[in-house]
Structure formats: C-alpha cells, structure tokens
Chains A and B, each alone.
Chain A
Amino acid sequence: MLKNMYTEIVDSIRLSDRAVEKALKAVRTTEKGDMIMVKRNKLKYTGMIAASLAVVIAGGTAAGQLLQCNQTQKMDSTAASQADSHNSFVLMVNAAELTDEPMVVNCAEETTADNRAAFGMNEVRGISLSEGDENNGYTVGYNSSMPITCKGEHIRYVTYSVDVGAISVSYYKGENPLIDGTETNRCDSTPESGVPLKPAYQKLEKELVQKIPKDAEGEVSWSQEDQKKLEQLDKVFENTENKHYASITIDCSDPRLAYTSISLVGSSVELNAEDRNYLGTHRDDLFGFKGEAGMTEEKACLDKLINGQIVHCTVTFDDGTKQTQDIKVGTAIATYAEALRNSNMMTDEKIAAYENNKDVFMTFSLA
C-alpha cells in the first residue's frame, strides 16, 4: 500500500517535452573541447564565444532590484574542464527560463537573490514612465528594473555602465554597497527610492495589500489604523539615498545588495501628443490596451525612450583579468500570461481575463 501510494505520486512527475528537446539540442551541438551549454536561465561562454539571447523581461521597480554574482557549479566534461581553466562568467536574468528566442521572464511573488522582477501596483510591464506637461515640453522618461545576475568563478567585482541614460541606485542610509560609482546628471528625472523592504516591512506591506478589495477602482479608503501603517511605510523610503550613476562597481557577495535597488533610467524625450497617447499613460485599467491597435506604435515610442541603451558589464576576476559583455535593452510584444504568471499584485481572475492579451514588455539581450 505504501509502495502504491508513493508510486502514484512519483508517476505524476514528468519532465516536460520542452526540457527534453532543449537537452537534445545541447547534445546535438556538443563537440568535445568546445562546448556551449545553454542551461535553463543562463548562457555560459568561455569568453571567446558570444551568443545572442533575446530576453523579454517583465519587471517593475516597486520592490527594488538587485545585481548579484554567484559561484557557478562545475560541469563534468572535457569542455567544462577547459572552460573552468579560463575565468568565465554567466549572465542570468531572474530564475525564469531563457532560450535563444525572446522570452518573457516571469514576475516573482517576492524578490529573492535569483528573482528580481516584481511589479508595482500600476506598472505591469516592467517599465514606468514619468510624464511632463506643457511646462516642460511634454517629455517622457522611462525607468525599468535591471534584473541581471552574474555567476562565475573567481569574480572579484562587477562594473556596470551606460553611455545613455543612467543607472539608478537606491539604498538605505549608511548601507551603500557600491565599491565605486560615477554619478551623472544626464537624466533630468529625480532619482526615486525603490529599495526592497526589509522583512518586517514586507510583512506590513503584504498585510495592507491583502486589505485592498479585489474590485477596488480608484483610491482605497483606509482606516485610521491602516493609514498610520501606510505612513510607516512611507517613512522607510525617506531613510534612503537615491542617485543616478553612469557607472557602478559592486562586490557580488556584499549582503547589502539584498536591500539595494538598481534600475535603468532613460533621459527624458519629447514626444508629440499622438505618441504620448500610444504610450498608454492614460490607461483606464491595469492591463493595458483595449485591443491591440497601436501596439506597434507604442513599441516604437518605448524604443525612442530607451534610445538604444546598452549596459556594459565588465567582470574583474581575482587574478586581475577582466572580461566584458554588453547587454542591449529593448522591447518586445508578448502576452500577459507569460509576464504575470507569478505576480503577487494581480488576482487569478484578472490574469484569467487578460492572459492572452498582448502588450509591450521590456527586453534584454546579449549585444
């Protein structure tokens, strides 16, 4: 009886066809001494071989984003031995699956070391926009998470830099994790605080979010007690420092990174009324367009805001050698089902209602 019960449970565990096909693909392209192994969530290369992976990210800034490095596991193969003899690193985006085709990375319920993307209440596509008005030429700027993790052997530190826009860093006062940073005022937007909440405040935030009625529209009316709790949360963000950098250097093992937010921002761009309308900043609901009309145009507008931003990643190893990899920021059209599967901000009913709707999401790819 015990055997039958156990067997029944284990019987139901099956490897997906997708995973089998991916492994078969790796096997077919494997040659001894020169191996590229595309793993779930990561591309490993020896520093001499570059590959292009387009990654569609849905990530927001509400809970803050992190950059971190981890030690990679050893592979047991001739090519792996060769790869290990070089310093090498792997760029990962969250813990969602990556392939060499554009993919949407799932938003996590909570940010962890491997899951960086989380949505804010109003920005479900991984991008928030700051819109000007008639006094500043109707400019619009973008802000997005940078949920990149770097894994490898013997990494001393990692430097990220941008030539366009800025890297926005937000940390608790007295807990600055940056080894080095070059500040910039290229972006006219004000650096915003987006630090991940510490556990006690995470609990508080969760408690308050659960009190929001599922059919709430517009502003929620809070009790006096809950209003005080909201003010407590607001005070958290007053105790942070927020700056824009052209370049930052971090030690991936620094535990302060767990409570640091790192995002990408673009310089404000002037858009005409028609373009601003395509951006959907006047959406009536959280889930975007009424229909797909204008989506291609919106993608074009977002691409204007992103303005060809490239993130230069330079890894410095313990022996002083360096390796670089550029990461291109872009956009792609995908469905909400792909983007919001694990979102904690949306009810199941809402996902069910919108899951097949498409929208424009942020992308990252190796350049």
Chain B
Amino acid sequence: MNQQIGTDEAEKIIREYADMIFRIALHNVKNAADAEDIFQEVCIALITKNPPVENKEYLRRWLIRVTINKCNSFHRLFWQKNTESIEEHTELESPHQKEVMEELWQLPKNDRNIIYLYYYESYTIAEIAEILKKNPNTVSSVLQRARKKLRKILLEGGYNNA
C-alpha cells in the first residue's frame, strides 16, 4: 500500500503540474471555468487516490490520465455555454493566437489530446497509446489525420509567430 501523500508533498506536486493539468482540461472542456473545476478535482483525487509519487514519470502519466478521465465524465448540459473567454486565463499575445486556439478546439477531443501529448509533452506514439489506453495504430492514424488539420490551422491559416 502506498504511503499517504503528505500535505506539503501534495502541494509541491500540485504546483509543479498545475499548468499541465489545466492545459489538458482546457483542451477538453474548452472553458476556463470548467477547466479550473477539473483541476481542483484532480488535486482532490491526488490525495484521495494516493498514487505512488516516487516515480516522477509514472506520476505525470497518472495525472494526465486522471485529468482526461475527469474531462470525459464531465457532463455539460445543452444549455451550458461558454461564459468566460480564454482571455481571462492566458497570456496569448495576439488575437490571431486566440483565433488559432479556438480553431484547435473545433478538432475532435481525442485529436486535441493526442496533439497535445505529442507536440507539447513530447510523448511517443507508444507512450500516448499507453496513457490513453488505446491501440498504437489508432493513435498513429489519429495523429496523422490531426497533423493535417493542425497544419491547415497553423500554416495555411496564416499563423505568424515571428
């Protein structure tokens, strides 16, 4: 049985992974307020589920998986709409960046998660398959398709990060 995570240690872990959890949640629920709620739930899960924390990479993947699971079980009813803009929680410098983010959000949720884990967290296809509990071939084909869409949004859409 794992040793109970102490408050200080939990705090350290939460601070270290706060941005990562929030980014994944935001990619999924597309709403900053809900993403914050999910972040809080993941924090609570950390101390109630008590995962092993000695292996940093294991912990990181555990947090990613729990965050995605929380997002998947997050039920937004049809009349709940985005009521807060991403501007409240980002330092996106240009309106174009915001537009790009909003276009990225139009991609299927699964694609968004795979894009994020591949391009931002630099996981391999095999690692992503393990994290998301999917067949590596599935991840590979989704990534190929998602790359095309990402290229269209970022390159053909005229995004200029110069």
- Residue positions of A touching B, CB distance < 8 A: 1-10, 12-16, 19-20, 22-24, 26-28, 30, 32, 35, 37, 39-41, 68, 70-71, 73-79, 94-95, 97, 108, 112-115, 258
Contacts and interface: CB of A to CB of B under 8 A. Distances in A.
Contacts of B74: 73
Contact of B80 (A13, A24, A40, A70): A70
A5 B155 CA distance: 9
Interface string B35-72: 01101110111111000000000000000000001100
B61 to A, nearest CB: 18
A27 B4 CA distance: 13
Interface of B: 7, 10-11, 14-15, 18-19, 21-23, 26, 33, 36-37, 39-41, 43-48, 69-70, 73-75, 77, 79-81, 83-84, 86, 89-93, 97, 100-101, 104, 115-116, 119-120, 147, 150-151, 154-155, 159, 161
Contact of B150 (A6, A24, A35): A6
A24 to B, nearest CB: 6
Contacts of A8: 97, 161
A77 B83 contact: no
Contacts of B101: 9, 13
Contacts of A41: 33
B91 A12 contact: yes
A2 B154 contact: yes
Contact of B91 (A14, A32, A40): A14
Contacts of B18: 15, 19-20, 23
Contact of A95 (B33, B91, B116, B120): B33
A22 B22 CA distance: 14
Given A3-B119, A76-B45, A78-B48, A108 B91 contact: no
A9 B100 contact: yes
A9 B119 CA distance: 11
B80 A37 contact: no
Contacts of B37: 39-40
21 contacts: A2-B119, A6-B119, A9-B104, A13-B26, A13-B86, A14-B22, A15-B36, A19-B39, A23-B39, A27-B7, A27-B11, A27-B14, A32-B48, A37-B40, A73-B75, A95-B84, A108-B83, A112-B79, A113-B80, A113-B81, A258-B79
